[in-house]
Amino acid sequence: QAQLVESGGGLVQAGGSLRLSCAASLRTFSGYHMGWFRQAPGKEREFVAAITWNSVDTFYVDSVKGRFTISRDNAKNTMYLQMNSLKPEDTAVYYCAAGRAYPPTGPRDYDYWGQGTQVTVSL
């Protein structure tokens, strides 16, 4: 059974919004930093955003700053990515991940991965 499961992806027009969720069944969710990555066809997996275990620090790739907001609710074992002002170049499969390394800004910093959810932004 998957330990991280993403949901909330879909098809939206440019300028629209989506909220992605990542439900975790980790032994101690609050003990992990959490992050979002995305991968478009023919491209490498790209870091998008991360949040530390206590939500003190957040990290974003430059291309999403001001548009995306990462958050988490440790009581619900859930992490979120609010995506506003979506652009066609945001189209990708989005993955959530959990890890303990700091700073959690690269794929090698994460130990657990979800199955991915498709986000498609049309013109």
List beta partners, residue 83.
18, 68
Report the C-alpha gap between 27 and 45 in whole angstroms: 26
For the chain, give the mean pLDDT.
Answer: 96
Q: And the tokens for 36?
A: 């979002």
Largest CA distance in the chain: 42
Q: List, for residues 65-95, the tens digit of each pLDDT value.
A: 999 999 999 999 999 999 999 999 999 999 9
Q: And the tokens for 45?
A: 């997996």
Report the C-alpha gap between 119 and 122 in whole angstroms: 10
pLDDT at 1: 65
Q: List, for residues 23-34, the tens digit of each pLDDT value.
A: 999 888 889 999
Question: What phi and psi values does residue 49 have, to the nearest 5 degrees?
Answer: -160, 155
